[in-house]
Amino acid sequence: MKLMITTILTCLLLWSVMLLSFSNIFKHQLLGDTVNVSSKDSVKPRDKLLGGLLTADFDEDSCLSRYQYQSSLYRKPSPYNTSQYLVSKLRNYEMLHKRCGPDTDAYKIATEKLGHDHDENVGDRSVGECKYIVWVAVYGLGNRILTLASVFLYALLTDRIILVDQRKDISDLFCEPFPGTSWLLPLDFPLMGKIDSFDREYSRCHGTMLKNHTINSTIIPSHLYLHLLHDYRDQDKRFFCQKDHSLVDKVPWLVVKSNLYFIPSLWLNPSFQPELIKLFPQKDTVFYHLARYLFHPTNQVWGMVTRSYNAYLSRADEILGIQVRVFSRQTKYFQHVMNQIVACTQREKLLPEAAAQEEPQVTNTTKPPKLIAVLVTSLHPGYSNNLKNMYWERPTSTGEIVKVYQPSGERFQQTDKKLHDQKALAEMYLLSLTDKLVTSAWSTFGYVAQGLGGLKPWILYTPKKFKTPDPPCGRGVSMEPCFLTPPVHGCGAKKGINTAKIVPFVRHCEDLRHYGLKLVDDTKDEL
Ligand code: GDP
């Protein structure tokens, strides 16, 4: 009897311990949910595939950023929907890439044909089923990301396969974007040894062939080089024109070097425009959607992003990003740039003023003061150091607390050095996770951050003669990057046509008012 009572009591005890621990787990889960929901997310569970933009066909652990970048831990829900037309276009592209990518018969056949120009009069038998565009890495990382997005969109529009020159550090920066295949151009690609020498003088350069009248309407070259760099000539710019495109379209292999975000000019081409409108009904979201689809930092870079974010930014009530890029021969600290940063952030009420002198602080003990984290990125550490000192030495006029953080201070540009490029990429992603963003005029580094983050930045205008400009900055009208050196006259017969006046959604850029072109949303009243 005694034994029975002891057994029953022991069971009851065990049962209550189990219940208690279950309820604790349950409470923690509930709490966890509550914390997540109330911190940055709405009540709706986050769609990790971004409305179908991303495919579910990847192993999550191999590339953590792919599904984590949009998570509620780091981002507010996206206000920009992905069109179903874009989703189906991407799925079709993925199938095409799988069929034509490296290690397929189609790729083998296409590379074997390199070097043999095709005579259209002979018939179609010698043309393979797949066409390619090879992207070659040139210039800094911001430039590279913008051109990759541009070349990918061109590939989508023309049913080509994008292959990426992997001799630089691209695979240390980004995961593969397409499932079950690779976007890396095989190292034994037959033209690999020659690509670096391709320039405007190359006989297979599209612009040069137009200039020298060596284009023959029936002989299709097996490859063409597209020179889409800032020093391109009027003939190179004809790549964007509908009537010059019929030859380019038939060439199996295109190799492109570019440092331009040339997407606005694709919108001005009447043969692409209807398709583009269906892909991107909200026209200033092109880079935003393409970048979230295409670019997924490797686990090493993503580790840098999340460690920085969790250590320095996640607890703030508001995060302000300031991207400082000074285009000068040496990376120096310039006082007029520092003055510009302070003038801009205070005039636009992005940061509180630092009080003139120490005043008695009324401390509210019931409510902690608002914490603003400022993420500064710059090659030089001087700007963030000064800002930090300013808010340490004096209180703010509003009682808000400002903490300043700069992840790296590399001093000078070291493109193609693995860790340097990884830090640059991590900083672009960190800037994209801020609530408000200040960028530097003409910088593709800043364009990437604003585009990824879907942020309309405050742009620090370019100083002239070492003076702080007045006004120091202005609000961008769209989050799209600027095409800094577009063709100025359009493709029509009429000379002197202003390319920023052809359609309402392609305008001059705020930071290059008479020249650059950018996409804007034409559905808004402000336009
Ligand atoms: P852009 O020259 O401003 O258009 O931007 P790019 O990214 O094309 O080239 C500048 C390069 O300099 C970057 O890719 C980095 O290598 C380096 N760099 C410039 N600013 C920064 C910065 O704030 N942080 C880091 N880590 N690197 C920078």
- Which domain CATH number covers 313? 3.40.50
CA distances 449 to 264, 325, 401, Å, are 18, 13, 25
Number of independent structural domains in the chain: 3
In the chain, % helix, strand, coil (3-state, to 5) comes to: 40, 15, 45
Residue 415 Cβ inside 6 Å of ligand 1? The answer reads yes
- Confidence check: pLDDT of 518 > 80: yes
Are 318 and 245 part of one and the same domain? Answer: no
In a domain, 20, yes or no: no
Which residue's alpha carbon is at the smallest distance from atom 22 of ligand 1? Answer: 378
pLDDT for the residue 11: 46
Tens digits of residue pLDDT in 433-454:
999 999 999 999 999 999 999 9
In a domain, 90, yes or no: yes
Are 251 and 126 part of one and the same domain? Answer: yes
Residue type, 207: G
What b/e readout covers 342-357, taking b as 16+ CB neighbours within 10 angstroms? bbbbeebebbbebeee
Residue 142 Cβ inside 6 Å of ligand 1? The answer reads yes
Q: To which H or E segment does residue 257 belong?
A: strand 253-258
Pairwise CA distance, residues 171 & 178, whole Å: 14
Residue 379 Cβ inside 6 Å of ligand 1? The answer reads yes
Tens digits of residue pLDDT in 97-144:
999 999 999 999 999 988 777 666 555 444 578 999 999 999 999 999
Q: Do strands 132-136 and 161-164 pair parallel, antiparallel, or not at all (unpaired)?
A: parallel
Are 202 and 144 part of one and the same domain? Answer: yes
- Confidence check: pLDDT of 38 > 90: no
Over range 137-156, report the average pLDDT: 98
Q: How wide is the angle at C-alpha 486 spanned by C-alphas 428 and 467, nearest 5°? A: 60
Which residue's alpha carbon is at the smallest distance from atom 12 of ligand 1? Answer: 413
CB 164 within 8 Å of CB 135: yes
- Confidence check: pLDDT of 45 > 90: no
CB 206 within 8 Å of CB 240: no
Residue 462 Cβ inside 6 Å of ligand 1? The answer reads no
Q: Which mutation among 374, 445, 450, 509 tests ligand 1's pocket best, with the greatest number of atoms within 8 A of CB?
A: 445
Are 163 and 193 part of one and the same domain? Answer: yes
Which residue's alpha carbon is at the smallest distance from atom 26 of ligand 1? Answer: 424
Q: What distance in angstroms lies between residue 458's CA and the mean position of ligand 1's atoms?
A: 18
pTM for the model stands at 0.89
Q: How wide is the angle at C-alpha 240 spanned by C-alphas 285 and 84, nearest 5°? A: 30
Pairwise CA distance, residues 58 & 299, whole Å: 14
Pairwise CA distance, residues 322 & 377, whole Å: 6
Residue 165 Cβ inside 6 Å of ligand 1? The answer reads no
In a domain, 7, yes or no: no
In a domain, 8, yes or no: no
Confidence band for 394, pLDDT divided at 50, 70 and 90: very high
Over range 183-189, report the average pLDDT: 98
Confidence band for 364, pLDDT divided at 50, 70 and 90: low
Are 68 and 173 part of one and the same domain? Answer: no
Q: What distance in angstroms lies between residue 376's CA and the mean position of ligand 1's atoms?
A: 13
Which residue's alpha carbon is at the smallest distance from atom 23 of ligand 1? Answer: 378
In a domain, 307, yes or no: yes
Are 235 and 351 part of one and the same domain? Answer: no
Are 138 and 207 part of one and the same domain? Answer: yes
Of the residues 275, 294, 313, which one is the last residue of a structural domain?
A: 294
Are 397 and 423 part of one and the same domain? Answer: yes
Q: What distance in angstroms lies between residue 168's CA and the mean position of ligand 1's atoms?
A: 16
Q: What is the extent of the structural domain holding 330?
A: 299-357+366-481
What b/e readout covers 280-290, taking b as 16+ CB neighbours within 10 angstroms? bebbbbbbbbb
- Portion of the chain with pLDDT greater than 70, in percent: 86
- Residue 149's SS3 state is helix
Q: To which H or E segment does residue 437 belong?
A: strand 436-440
Are 238 and 277 part of one and the same domain? Answer: yes
Pairwise CA distance, residues 382 & 71, whole Å: 33
- Residue 387's SS3 state is helix
Are 197 and 312 part of one and the same domain? Answer: no
In a domain, 516, yes or no: no
Which residue's alpha carbon is at the smallest distance from atom 11 of ligand 1? Answer: 140
Are 194 and 337 part of one and the same domain? Answer: no
Q: Which atom of ligand 1 lies nearest, measured to the CA of 423?
A: 26
Q: Which atom of ligand 1 lies nearest, measured to the CA of 144?
A: 8
Are 119 and 190 part of one and the same domain? Answer: yes
